[in-house]
C-alpha cells in the first residue's frame, strides 16, 4: 500500500531533482553538440553546460521558468491507494514551491490572477502493485510554439514536412537546441498526450524515421538560441497510435534544451 505522505514526499523530491539536475541522456547529447559546433553556437552550448553545473552545485533551478509541473502517475491496481492523487499532487507542488523553490507561474487564464503553482496530472491505471511517477516541469517558451494539427488522410506523406515547419516557425523562441516530441494518430486530445509522453523517453534512442526528421531539422540552420548553427534539435521522439480512418491528428510538443524530467517507482 502506498501512503499519501510517501507519494507527496516523492513528488517534491522529483520536482527538485528535475529543476536542478539534467538527466545523463540529455547531458550526453548537449556535450556531443558542443564538440561539433564552433563560433557562437559553441560558446552558447558551453554557457548552457556551465549553467547546468552551477545549478547542480548550488542546488538551484537551472532556469527561472520553473514551468508548469506536469506529473504522470501510473497507478498499479494492487497499490491500493486510499487518497486523491490529484489533491496530493497539488500539495506536493505547494511544498516544492517553497522548498526548491519554484517561481509562482500559474494564473487564471482570463483574469491572469496569479494562483501560485498548480500541476497538470495525467493518471492511468495499470497492472501491478507499484506507483510509477514521472515529473516534467514544462516552460512556456517551448510550450507556446507547440502545435496540434488535424491533418487529413491524404496528408500522410507530408507528416515530416509538417513537423519540420513547426520547428521552422518556432525559430529561436523555444531555446534551441530543442527536443521535438511528436504524437501521430489517436484523437485530438490523445495526439497531444502522445507528444508529451514521447519527451519522457531516453533521448539517445531514436529510430530511422526520427533520425531522418532530425537531420532535416538540423539542416534549417536555426542553431542554438536561433543565432545560427548545425544544432537546432537534439532529438526527435515520435509516438504513434491508430486513428479514425477519416483523420490524421499530429501534435508537435517542443521542449527546450533543458529537457527536465525525473522518475521514481514507489510501493
Residues between 29 and 68 that touch other proteins (CB under 8 A) = 39-40, 43-44, 47-48, 50-52, 54-55, 58, 60-66
Is 226 a residue that touches other proteins (CB under 8 A)?
A: yes
Under rule CB under 8 A, residue 265 binds other proteins: no
Percentages of the chain per state (helix, strand, coil), in multiples of 5: 40, 25, 35
Q: Which of residues 136-175 bind other proteins (CB under 8 A)?
A: 139-141, 144, 168-175
- Least CB distance from residue 100 to other proteins, whole Å? 9
**Would you say 113 or 127 has its CB closer to other proteins?**
113
Q: Is the dihedral angle over the CA atoms 159, 160, 163, 168 positive or is it negative?
A: negative
Classify residue 110 as exposed, middle or buried by CB count within 10 Å of its CB (0-12, 13-18, 19+): exposed
Q: What angle do CA 256, 205, 267 make, to 5 degrees?
A: 85
Residue among 65 and 91 whose Cβ is closer to other proteins: 65
**Angle of CA points 194, 209, 166, to nearest 5°:** 60
Q: Considering only CA atoms, which of 120, 121, 169, 111 is closest in space to residue 144?
A: 169
DSSP 179: E
- State yes or no: residue 203 binds other proteins (CB under 8 A): no
Is residue 220 close enough to count as binding other proteins by CB under 8 A?
Answer: yes
Determine if the peptide bond prior to 35 is cis (ω within 30°).
Answer: no
- Smallest distance from the beta carbon of 116 to other proteins, in angstroms? 10
Q: Does 233 bind other proteins (CB under 8 A)?
A: no
Which chain residues interact with other proteins by CB under 8 A? 39-40, 43-44, 47-48, 50-52, 54-55, 58, 60-66, 101-105, 112, 114, 139-141, 144, 168-175, 220-222, 224-228, 256-258
Amino acid at each position: 500500500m502506498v501512503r499519501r505522505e510517501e507519494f507527496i514526499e516523492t513528488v517534491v523530491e522529483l520536482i527538485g531533482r528535475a529543476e536542478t539536475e539534467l538527466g545523463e541522456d540529455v547531458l550526453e547529447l548537449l556535450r556531443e553538440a558542443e564538440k561539433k559546433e564552433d563560433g557562437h553556437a559553441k560558446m552558447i552550448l558551453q554557457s548552457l553546460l556551465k549553467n547546468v553545473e552551477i545549478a547542480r552545485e548550488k542546488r538551484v533551478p537551472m532556469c527561472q521558468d520553473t514551468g508548469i509541473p506536469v506529473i504522470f502517475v501510473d497507478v498499479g491496481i494492487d497499490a491500493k491507494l486510499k487518497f486523491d492523487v490529484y489533491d496530493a499532487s497539488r500539495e506536493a507542488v505547494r511544498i516544492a514551491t517553497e522548498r526548491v523553490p519554484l517561481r509562482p507561474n500559474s494564473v487564471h487564464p482570463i483574469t491572469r490572477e496569479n494562483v501560485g503553482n498548480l500541476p497538470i496530472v495525467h493518471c492511468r491505471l495499470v497492472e501491478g502493485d507499484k506507483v510509477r511517477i514521472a515529473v516534467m516541469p514544462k516552460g512556456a517558451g517551448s510550450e507556446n510554439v507547440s502545435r496540434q494539427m488535424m491533418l487529413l488522410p491524404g496528408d500522410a506523406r507530408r507528416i515530416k514536412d509538417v513537423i519540420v515547419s513547426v520547428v521552422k516557425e518556432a525559430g529561436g523562441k523555444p531555446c534551441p537546441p530543442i527536443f521535438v516530441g511528436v504524437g501521430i494518430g489517436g484523437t485530438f486530445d490523445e495526439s497531444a498526450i502522445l507528444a508529451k509522453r514521447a519527451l519522457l523517453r531516453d533521448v539517445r534512442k531514436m529510430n530511422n524515421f526520427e533520425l531522418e526528421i532530425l537531420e532535416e531539422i538540423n539542416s534549417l540552420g536555426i542553431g542554438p538560441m536561433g543565432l545560427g548553427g548545425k544544432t537546432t534539435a537534439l532529438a526527435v521522439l515520435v509516438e504513434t497510435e491508430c486513428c479514425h480512418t477519416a483523420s490524421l491528428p499530429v501534435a508537435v510538443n517542443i521542449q527546450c534544451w533543458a529537457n527536465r524530467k525525473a522518475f521514481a517507482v514507489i510501493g
